[in-house]
Amino acid sequence: MSDVTRTNKRPRAGLGPIARSDGTLAIIAIDQRNSLRKMLAAAGQPTGPEDVRSFKVDVTAALSPAASAVLLDPQFGVPAVVEAGAMAPGCGTLVAAEAAERDTWNGEPRARRDPTRTAKWVTDMGGQALKLFVEMRPDRVPGPGEPDLVAEVVEVVSAVVEDCAAAGVPSVIETLLYALPGEGPLDARRRADLIVESARILSETRPDLLKLEYPSDARGCRAVAEAVTVPWAVLSAGVPLEDFLEAVRTACDDGGASGFIAGRVYWKDAVALAGEDRKHFLSTTGRDRLEQSLAAMEGRARPWTEAVEGGRSR
């Protein structure tokens, strides 16, 4: 664990702008840039800027009516959705603040904050909340002459959270694990333990919301609930729908999660389609998958207000 981890004393802005009326979260993620281009290319679809913009508009138009917010990138997503008027009334906009290309140290991801991508930058483009993505291995120990990559993550996240708190803009921090150089696949238990430890470290920076990987099972979810002091939502990582629905149920029942932030589970099959075929798929199959996700968290998801008032997530 980094020795710079600390508790941010600023009050949180609150998740109202990106939450449902009952305080739960049903957020669609379509902030992918390079990875979306790769998916389109693999499906034999064009990958130009207008093609990416059009895809994001179609996803937003089809799914935002049933969502509490949509997570968009600032390069393609926000401008295209605003221009097209594709966002449903009452659905919030969560803007990704990380750069499409990220720094590395000997192949490991390195956290960096773009000083121009502030809370004010988000509101100036019409967004209601800021999301920052970081990759972290909480068990990484720096060698001689190496930077402390965990400490860097905490410093970057703390700066973003403080900026958002000062501006009254909700901060959402997404974190994923990565493989250390030369490391083989992690078993489920070890992976869950690392997800929990990442959550604990980043919870101490006091963001408004943590976006976390599913920590394997009910045991992992209970460990997250014990580790965090802020609301959290589970991400989909593109897993099959039934697996995701089970993850949502367990994260809410056992982990006190406030809902989900998910994307590919709804729209990944649409990358092979275009025009009216794509719109039809998203408004039928994609929307049905989202409705099933809403049913999975109904009566289970913990309102973010309760998570804040209760101190720990559960």
Tokens found for residue 138? 């909480």
Question: CA–CA distance from 174 to each of 23, 46, 177 (Å)?
Answer: 19, 29, 10
Please state, in angstroms and rounded to a whole number, the distance separating the CA atoms of residues 81 and 215. Answer: 33
Which position among 38, 211, 268, 279 bears the catalytic label? 211
CA atoms within 13 A on the CB side of 269: 15
- Going by their DSSP bridges, the two strands 129-135 and 171-176 should be labelled as parallel
Please state, in angstroms and rounded to a whole number, the distance separating the CA atoms of residues 163 and 151. Answer: 18
Task: Verify whether residue 211 is a known catalytic residue.
Answer: yes
Please state, in angstroms and rounded to a whole number, the distance separating the CA atoms of residues 40 and 44. Answer: 6
Tokens found for residue 28? 């669609």
Residues with active-site annotation = 211
